[in-house]
Amino acid sequence: MSQPEGSSSSSKKRKTAGSSNTDDALSSSSSSPTYSADFNDPEGDVVLQSSDDVLYRVHKFYLQAASTVFRDTLALPQPPSNQSSSSPPVVKLEDSSFDLHHFLHAVSGLSPLPVGDPSALAALRSVLALTNKYGAENLGRNASYTFSRVLLEEEFVLHTSHVRDI
């Protein structure tokens, strides 16, 4: 499974006692956001921005179909922006690029939820957290089922390796 862009923990600035909100704002504005390789559809009509400045240009239809929160939020009239009229609106989210990467893969159906992959548990935790947060009940049920399959598979692997050792 590919690692999502911007997933490095070193990209986040740690706030110290002497730093101010202005320092944080300046540091975040000096780094320019980058687009996800998996989610940069030129025909996408909305851009999601992760907390670590990765952009996801997607079709809002998929978000609205999967999530009650996105359905309601994206249906609201958008305020005028400084962007050109051909640029889709940018929705800034508090979620990491790691979490959004896996959530968007699950929403779009581009790849099945991982089973048997060492990073499966972390990916599934991300999907479960965001399905809960964004009201994506059907996707959450699918992720819960997959999560239980992964846990059972892990338990089976641990059990069989223990039996071989005896």
Per the prediction, the chain carries an average pLDDT of: 74
CA 55 to chain centre: 10
At 90, the amino acid letter reads: V
pLDDT of residue 108: 86
| pLDDT at position 89 over 70 | yes
Superfamily of domain 27-165 in CATH is Potassium Channel Kv1.1; Chain A (3.30.710.10)
pLDDT digits (tens, 9 = 90+) for 53-70: 999 999 999 999 999 999
20 token code pair: 């101010």
Per residue in 9-43, pLDDT (tens digit) is: 333 333 333 333 323 333 344 478 999 999 999 99
DSSP string for residues in 62-80? HHHHH-HHHHHHHHSPPPP
**Cα 28 from chain centre:** 19
31: nearest Cα among 16, 52, 14: 52
Summarize pLDDT for 113-138 with one digit per residue, the tens.
556 666 777 888 888 899 899 999 88
CA angle at 69 for the pair 57 and 79, rounded to the nearest 5°:
60
In the three-class reduction of DSSP (H, G, I as helix; E, B as strand; rest coil), residue 85 is classed as coil
Rg (CA), the chain: 19
